Amino acid sequence: MQDNFSSNFPNLTHLDQQGQAQMVDVSAKAPTVRQAVAAAQVRMLPETFAAIQAGNTPKGDVLATARIAGIMAAKQTANLIPLCHPLPLQKVEVEVIPDSQLPGYQIQATVKTKAETGVEMEALTAVSVAALTLYDMAKALEKSIQIESIRLISKTGGKSGDYSPRISG
């Protein structure tokens, strides 16, 4: 790699002077309130959806287990994603919302902190693990369940400001 790698790519904060991955130093940043919302969807056969809705599954309460797994995952993000900062999370909310039109579930996580860096990865991790847990809890009923469209919905706070996707028409 080039000796002066970061001078050629000054906006790549996760790379050092030699182009090696590094954890970003956020010690000079002031803690601010930050929030991120992420979403995913889990698509399945109508019969599987009906069984979950009726509570008729071999492993127990699919939706409660998925919700708790998402909350726990958000709290473990720094252990799962290299270079993520461990953050004091003040709020983690995971919703698993039935959607008969899929059929399946919309999953949404809201994560909030007062820290030097944002919580986008925590929210994305929460919805990902909640979706994986939903799959695990229902795979005895259907192996073809699809996890789709994991995405950041919005984020607030921090130097880069607020984010919400643009709607294209």
| Residues annotated as part of the active site | 136
Q: Is 122 annotated as a binding residue?
A: yes
Closest CA to 48 of 129, 138, 148, 130: 138
Residue 18 near residue 5, CB atoms below 8 Å? yes
Q: How far apart are CA 160 and CA 49, in angstroms?
A: 40
Residue with tokens 């939706």: 63
For the record, the structure tokens of 96 come out as 């698993």
Which residues does 93 contact at the CB level (< 8 Å), separation at least 6? 71, 109, 110, 111
Q: How far apart are CA 89 and CA 113, in angstroms?
A: 5
Q: Is 132 annotated as a binding residue?
A: no
Q: Is 95 annotated as a binding residue?
A: no
Binding-site residues for substrate, please?
83-85, 121-122
Binding-site residues, please?
83-85, 121-122
